[in-house]
Structure 1
Amino acid sequence: MNAPTTPPEPSGRPPRRTPTLEDQAAQFRLLVDHAPALIALFDAHDLSCLFANRQYAQRFGLDEQSILGRSFDDIIGADAAREVQPYIDQVLRDHRSVNYERRLVPPDGEPRWIEVNLVPHLTPDGREVSAAFVLISDITRFREAERAMRESEARLATFMEASVEGLLFHRDGVIADVNPSLCALIGYPLELLIGRRALELVAPDQLEIVRAVMEAGDETRYETAVMHRSGERIPVEFIVRTLWRNGERLRMAVVRDIREQQAALARIHHLAHHDPLTGLLNRATFMERLRERLARGPSQRAALLFIDLDNFKRVNDSLGHLEGDQVLRTVADRLRAGLRGGDLVARFGGDEFVVLLEDVHQRKDVQVVLNALLSVVEVPVQADGRDLSVTPTIGVALYPEHGESPEELLQHADTAMYLAKSAGRATYRFFESAMAETAYADLVLEAELAQALTADEFVLFYQPQVAAQTGQLTGAEALLRWRHPTRGLLSPDAFILVAERHRLMLPLGEWVMHEAARQARLWHERGIAPVPIAVNLSSMQFRLDSFSKSVAQVLKTAGVPGEWLELELTERMLTDEIERLPELLQSLRALGLAISIDDFGTGYTALNQLTRLPLDKLKIDQSFVAGLPDDRPAAAITRAVVQMAKGLGMRVGAEGVRNARQWHLLAEWGCDELQGEVIASAMPAEEFEAWLAARGRSGLPRLDA
């Protein structure tokens, strides 16, 4: 028997109602009015509208009711109807759907791209088309994306063709594309590069570095090297980025040839450590090497030789500086030839040379070298078509007997050299303790310097600085002179070392700033347009913690704005004061003063320091300018320094400009300011005023080449 059935428990909900046709129609209308497409149904015989959703009707300025019964060409316009009629005919003829795209300009005036699907509605027997559905999708954003992609591809192709730097694209390490510049750089045609492993182009010693960057996917820049097809190793900089192209992930490398840059930097580095005229070590580098040697202790003896050429000034005066420079180069070559491989030799400036002999056991070992140097240097030198006899005088200080510091050894060797000169020149002398009496002369000079400050014996000379392009006066450099009561007018070379050794540079340096500021104010009061006056600073001044405050006091006392002064620092100051430098320079610039690097190239400034310091001007040392335009290395490094400074946003000045050819060449390279004999020598303030008045207060016109 079947189990008795029981009625279901009431659920509390009303019984489900079967949807009526009206319900289904409302649901259909709700669906199509909110569909992301324009939908309409047209009669196949007269193309009148049988149905349209809200979006379709509104697109043509109608509504769901007013559009019914309207003809197709009435709705979309006669021109548009003629354009799409072939597609309608194809649907009616072939009984199949047709898809096409066209540009639509609706009443709101904003052009759109649409994709149209015409779908036939067949009679029940399938023999005729009774109506056709129109489904329209707005594809404007896709077309805009495609257009942007095409434009981007075109721009990329143009950029790749035009770029002077190599461009390489690789996909998982396999080269996908390169530009002509890369092909030219490494010597391979395009067809031999596509499909190769990118690492095949990298120099063997750089493979691990480049592979690590590729595997990490880093976006970075670094220096490495690639191999030319000929086997030449080419130093390059890689700038690596990740990008998407046509939907795939690519790695792009900008390959920058840095051979010229490295050569220029090597030249800068060499010039920073070497004398530009002779190629010997310069003073700063020699002292650093000497200090390093002495730090190893006195387990091995050494000898310091101070060499001065006898009567060299007469060579310069009679034959000129060019012949004098050739004599110095010849002497430098002979000194190299007369020394042992491990010995150090440097040019300290002018006609002074210094030699460090290492691992000497007794005096006679040093004497052998001394006699050899006297012999090779005394050989006549060819200059101006004739033989000149150049003789050296040498002073010797032994380590550790005659001193344990570089400064003490140098002082004692210098003292011995002067004693040798007084003994008849062209000879040598070893330092003796009795020679310490010569320090008395230092004490006398020190006392005279101190008295000179109170007796108002110092004076400032001013050398004009002009704009390279126009010749207009842009400023002046203040240069210290001493009107010695018995020795006449002295340049700083005659007393500055003693002043620094005995800390007289502090009051002397402060006097220079006060005098320059006073002169600037005086010129202003006389109606002469104030110009920035450049003042050279000593490292002793610059190291003072209160230096910025003392400068502020100078400006306040003189009653002048900071813009009327410019402070010139040496490269050595930038390296010695590296920790406090940014804050100190900012405080000085806050006072309105301009900051410049003087004699650039004679020291060694880390280039990345220049990018972080608030500097206004870089002055190229006159030793570079002197060789222009014929000295190709000097020209290359000078031009590189100008371009580097310009890239860092600094003005560039050049010292020691002696002729119009140098002027025009420096101006062509972009140098901003010039000073030198071609413009005017340094002169007292009253002569400076007369010089300026004679040329008009606008300054000096450009010289003709």
Structure 2
Amino acid sequence: MVAPVPPVPPMSPALPASSAEDQSAQFRLLADNVPVLIAVFDAATRTCRFANRQYARSFGLDEGSVLGRTFAQIIGEDAAQEIEPHVRRVLDERVSVSYERRLERRDGRPRWIEVNLIPYLPPGAEEVQSSFVLITDITRFREAELAVRESEDRLAKFMEASMEGIVFHRDGIMTDVNPPLCELVGYSLDELVGRPALSMIAGDQIDTVRAVMEAGQETRYPTAILHRSGARIDVEFIVRTLWRNGERLRMTIVRDLRPHLEALARIQHLAQHDPLTGLLNRSTFMERLRERLSQGPARRAALLFIDLDNFKRVNDSLGHLEGDRVLRTVSERLRGGLRGSDLVARFGGDEFVVLLEDVHQRKDVQTVLNALLSVVEVPVQADGRDLSVTPSIGVAMYPEHGESPEDLLQHADTAMYLAKTAGRATFRFFEPAMAENAYADLVLESELAQALTADEFVLFYQPQVDARSGELVGAEALLRWRHPQRGLLTPDAFIVVAERHRLMLPLGEWVMYEAARQARAWHERGVAPVPIAVNLSSMQFRLASFSKSVAHVLKTAGVPGEWLELELTERMLTDEIDRLPELLQTLRSQGLAISIDDFGTGYTALNQLTRLPLDKLKIDQSFVAVLPDDTGAAAITRAVVQMAKGLGLRVGAEGVRNARQWHLLAEWGCDELQGEVIATAMPAEEFEAWLAQRGEPRLPRIDT
């Protein structure tokens, strides 16, 4: 059943007509509440006949006080003159006029208004009786328009000034691009506009880019585009949605990632490689070594630890720039002597490490070792001269000599030190006994360092006498170590370890200072001062600052240089020949005497002796020990004495054990002697006692 339609209610009775007074009140209410400034001006007198509240207040008046004022009095003479042409047009042409004005607020900010002037002609009138003024504040609209224009200008300038490519596209079709994008892909603006944006995307990236476009995402992601030539370019897209010229567009910033990726590759290379030689650095080598060893012992390998012999001399004599050139040359030769699959690294300084993979027997490794020795030993050009650089190489086999990178490296390092001890320019394979020796060396090294601070070292002194008169002419200072557990030790028990670990530097300086201090103490107690001979280590002597170190010792001890004699070995002469003349002359200018110890056991070229400022040669005791029975030793000894005399040098002999040797050496022309026939080495107190009890000097009698 259909519901009945309700009856229509009767019409409301008509509202009574308003009186003129009510209409005026209603008009006033309406005028005061609309967001427009309203005023009516008399055409003849230009005076205000009506104004709403907003109009009056905007000029600092109210609805009553504004009436009867001319518009010039209300808005000011300057403003009245400015709008006069618009007023004249309204009055003369009887048309409505609309215009805009830009004003300034009290705070200086701009304000825009739109003014509408509307003429009023009563019915039948030929002249305009009055003019309505409607003023609308349009500041927010103009500011919005200005913001849009500024945004467009900024965007246009950004597109022109940006170093990165920019693409605008609508519905996947490119509508605009900037010059950097054209340069990046090799197309002109005209060639790109109107093309699908996906047409310049690398094939394997199209699906990803299409998904971002269809989803309307605002994001950034790496991708790749294609150059006109077909070359792939790694880029980053930064995608945004915006409005331009009233259109909704997609803007994509295209950032070329190639410089960034190249920089990352360079950083990664620097992080993994030695900057000087380009070889792997220590950390990268150890990481890759660990990876190779993780494959198990089925793949045998050999780890080579390479140290350049006497490389410090290159830096000290030619400077670090030439030293760096030598290191680069050596690294190139190492790479050239290895397979591409072998790893080679510089661990720092003049140390290199090599991993030889898939080696089955020692002879395979020996073949590589001999090749490396031969290529590295080839003279290197440095500072316009040929330098011979030789390597000492230690080898540890995997898995026999260790299954961890650390063990292999330690064992190869141990074998390398043995190669140096064996005469350098050679190689040694690790043997288990070496580890025991290495541990003993480690313990001894620690004890040596503690001995220096614990004052456990002492100098013994062995007299040196005139070969003809027997008078005391000097003494040789000999180092001893009062070990807390092992007792009194001679240098043979510890000097090699001291030199290997550079403890010889502080120890050698202590020996010089202690000898100088003792010479001064004897002088102050009235003991006749004699030159004290001090043995130098090659490590100590090679220091560029050695002469300054000696000067510091003499100054600190307060003794003249004449109270010390420095003893060198023949090996030092061959190692340091280029700097020797100047260095020895500097030392002699400080008053020190210079002697060559153990002469006859080295390989000194005789012409070197003529170039060097020396004072004495000391014949090695191995020749003296077999006199007079060994005719060869006798011939060599006599020849050395005659040669030294011919060069104007004094001659000493050590290890003299009996009267026959004394008389024979004196007869041949030796100047000074020392040995057990005179006295053994003794502490300073015993030396003084021996000197006091000795009595008149005399030559020993030969027993018949």
Question: What CA distance in whole angstroms lies between the structure 1 residues aligned with 2:235 and 2:180?
Answer: 13
> Where do residues 186-205 of structure 1 align in structure 2 (5 Å cutoff)?
186-204=185-203
Answering whether residue 303 of structure 2 is matched by residue 304 of structure 1, we say yes
Output one character per residue of 1:669-688: Cα deviation in whole Å (capped at 9) or x when no partner: xxxxxxxxxxxxxxxxxxxx
> Residue in 1 aligned with 2:441?
441
Partner AA of 2:447 in structure 1: A
| Structure 1 residue 229 displacement after superposition | 4.7
> Where do residues 159-198 of structure 1 align in structure 2 (5 Å cutoff)?
159-171=158-170, 173-198=172-197
Maintained 8 Å contact 1:60/1:106 = no
| Structure 1 residue 380 displacement after superposition | 4.0
> Residue in 1 aligned with 2:268?
269
Maintained 8 Å contact 2:445/2:501 = no
Maintained 8 Å contact 2:235/2:255 = yes
Maintained 8 Å contact 2:445/2:497 = no
Closer, same or farther: CA 409–117 of 1 in aligned 2, 3 Å: same
| Structure 1 residue 128 displacement after superposition | 6.3
> Residue in 2 aligned with 1:397?
396
Question: What CA distance in whole angstroms lies between the structure 1 residues aligned with 2:178 and 2:197?
Answer: 14
Output one character per residue of 1:436-455: Cα deviation in whole Å (capped at 9) or x when no partner: 23222122113334555666
Output one character per residue of 1:74-124: Cα deviation in whole Å (capped at 9) or x when no partner: 544454444334334444455443221124579999864221122344444
Maintained 8 Å contact 1:396/1:428 = yes
| Structure 1 residue 35 displacement after superposition | 0.6
Closer, same or farther: CA 83–421 of 1 in aligned 2, 3 Å: closer
Question: What CA distance in whole angstroms lies between the structure 1 residues aligned with 2:116 and 2:500?
Answer: 94
SS of 1:342's equivalent in the other structure is coil
> Where do residues 64-83 of structure 1 align in structure 2 (5 Å cutoff)?
64-83=63-82
Maintained 8 Å contact 1:377/1:392 = yes
CA RMSD, 1 decimal: 4.3
> Residue in 2 aligned with 1:288?
287
SS of 1:278's equivalent in the other structure is coil
Output one character per residue of 1:246-284: Cα deviation in whole Å (capped at 9) or x when no partner: 555555555555544444432232122112222111111
Maintained 8 Å contact 2:415/2:428 = yes
Maintained 8 Å contact 2:90/2:96 = yes
Closer, same or farther: CA 424–171 of 1 in aligned 2, 3 Å: same
| Structure 1 residue 409 displacement after superposition | 1.0
Output one character per residue of 1:428-470: Cα deviation in whole Å (capped at 9) or x when no partner: 332222222322212211333455566699xxxxxxxxxxxxx
Closer, same or farther: CA 454–39 of 1 in aligned 2, 3 Å: farther
SS of 2:303's equivalent in the other structure is strand
SS of 1:300's equivalent in the other structure is coil
Output one character per residue of 1:560-587: Cα deviation in whole Å (capped at 9) or x when no partner: xxxxxxxxxxxxxxxxxxxxxxxxxxxx
| Structure 1 residue 403 displacement after superposition | 0.8
> Residue in 1 aligned with 2:86?
87
| Structure 1 residue 294 displacement after superposition | 1.8
Output one character per residue of 1:496-532: Cα deviation in whole Å (capped at 9) or x when no partner: xxxxxxxxxxxxxxxxxxxxxxxxxxxxxxxxxxxxx
Partner AA of 2:341 in structure 1: G
Answering whether residue 56 of structure 2 is matched by residue 52 of structure 1, we say no
Answering whether residue 117 of structure 2 is matched by residue 118 of structure 1, we say yes
Partner AA of 1:435 in structure 2: M
| Structure 1 residue 410 displacement after superposition | 1.1
> Residue in 2 aligned with 1:331?
330
Question: What CA distance in whole angstroms lies between the structure 2 residues aligned with 1:159 and 1:47?
Answer: 52
Question: What CA distance in whole angstroms lies between the structure 1 residues aligned with 2:185 and 2:213?
Answer: 20
> Residue in 2 aligned with 1:418?
417
Maintained 8 Å contact 2:175/2:193 = yes
SS of 1:443's equivalent in the other structure is helix
| Structure 1 residue 314 displacement after superposition | 4.0
| Structure 1 residue 286 displacement after superposition | 0.8
> Residue in 2 aligned with 1:358?
357
Maintained 8 Å contact 2:394/2:430 = yes
> Residue in 2 aligned with 1:347?
346
Question: What CA distance in whole angstroms lies between the structure 1 residues aligned with 2:73 and 2:328?
Answer: 98
Closer, same or farther: CA 446–295 of 1 in aligned 2, 3 Å: farther
> Where do residues 309-320 of structure 1 align in structure 2 (5 Å cutoff)?
309-320=308-319
> Residue in 2 aligned with 1:429?
428
Question: What CA distance in whole angstroms lies between the structure 1 residues aligned with 2:419 and 2:262?
Answer: 43
Partner AA of 2:376 in structure 1: V
Report the identity percentage: 69
Question: What CA distance in whole angstroms lies between the structure 2 residues aligned with 1:88 and 1:336?
Answer: 96
Closer, same or farther: CA 100–450 of 1 in aligned 2, 3 Å: same
Question: What CA distance in whole angstroms lies between the structure 1 residues aligned with 2:500 and 2:431?
Answer: 29
Maintained 8 Å contact 2:308/2:350 = yes
| Structure 1 residue 52 displacement after superposition | 2.5
TM normalised by structure 2 equals 0.56
| Structure 1 residue 17 displacement after superposition | 5.5
Question: What CA distance in whole angstroms lies between the structure 2 residues aligned with 1:71 and 1:492?
Answer: 110
| Structure 1 residue 287 displacement after superposition | 0.9
Partner AA of 2:58 in structure 1: R
> Residue in 2 aligned with 1:542?
none
TM normalised by structure 1 equals 0.55
SS of 2:280's equivalent in the other structure is coil
CA radius of gyration, larger in? 2
Question: What CA distance in whole angstroms lies between the structure 2 residues aligned with 1:448 and 1:249?
Answer: 82
SS of 1:288's equivalent in the other structure is helix
> Where do residues 357-376 of structure 1 align in structure 2 (5 Å cutoff)?
357-376=356-375
Maintained 8 Å contact 1:61/1:107 = no
Partner AA of 2:285 in structure 1: F
| Structure 1 residue 159 displacement after superposition | 4.8
Partner AA of 1:419 in structure 2: L
> Where do residues 553-568 of structure 1 align in structure 2 (5 Å cutoff)?
none
SS of 2:355's equivalent in the other structure is strand
Maintained 8 Å contact 1:60/1:107 = no
> Where do residues 115-154 of structure 1 align in structure 2 (5 Å cutoff)?
115-124=114-123, 129-154=128-153
Output one character per residue of 1:389-420: Cα deviation in whole Å (capped at 9) or x when no partner: 44433322121111111111111122222333
Instruction: Choose between structure 1 and 2 for higher RCO, CA contacts under 8 A separated by at least 6 residues.
Output: 1
| Structure 1 residue 191 displacement after superposition | 4.3
Instruction: Identify unmatched segments of 5+ residues in structure 2.
Output: 1-7, 458-490, 504-704
Question: What CA distance in whole angstroms lies between the structure 2 residues aligned with 1:86 and 1:207?
Answer: 64
Question: What CA distance in whole angstroms lies between the structure 1 residues aligned with 2:259 and 2:177?
Answer: 23
Question: What CA distance in whole angstroms lies between the structure 2 residues aligned with 1:131 and 1:336?
Answer: 104
Instruction: Identify unmatched segments of 5+ residues in structure 1.
Output: 1-7, 458-484, 496-705
> Where do residues 466-545 of structure 1 align in structure 2 (5 Å cutoff)?
494=502
Question: What CA distance in whole angstroms lies between the structure 2 residues aligned with 1:446 and 1:425?
Answer: 25
SS of 1:376's equivalent in the other structure is helix
Closer, same or farther: CA 390–215 of 1 in aligned 2, 3 Å: farther
Q: Aligned pair count?
A: 460
Question: What CA distance in whole angstroms lies between the structure 2 residues aligned with 1:489 and 1:164?
Answer: 63
Closer, same or farther: CA 403–488 of 1 in aligned 2, 3 Å: closer
Question: What CA distance in whole angstroms lies between the structure 2 residues aligned with 1:281 and 1:401?
Answer: 25
| Structure 1 residue 351 displacement after superposition | 2.5
Maintained 8 Å contact 2:335/2:344 = yes
Question: What CA distance in whole angstroms lies between the structure 1 residues aligned with 2:402 and 2:105?
Answer: 97
Partner AA of 1:441 in structure 2: D
Maintained 8 Å contact 2:441/2:497 = no
SS of 1:336's equivalent in the other structure is helix
Question: What CA distance in whole angstroms lies between the structure 2 residues aligned with 1:44 and 1:317?
Answer: 107
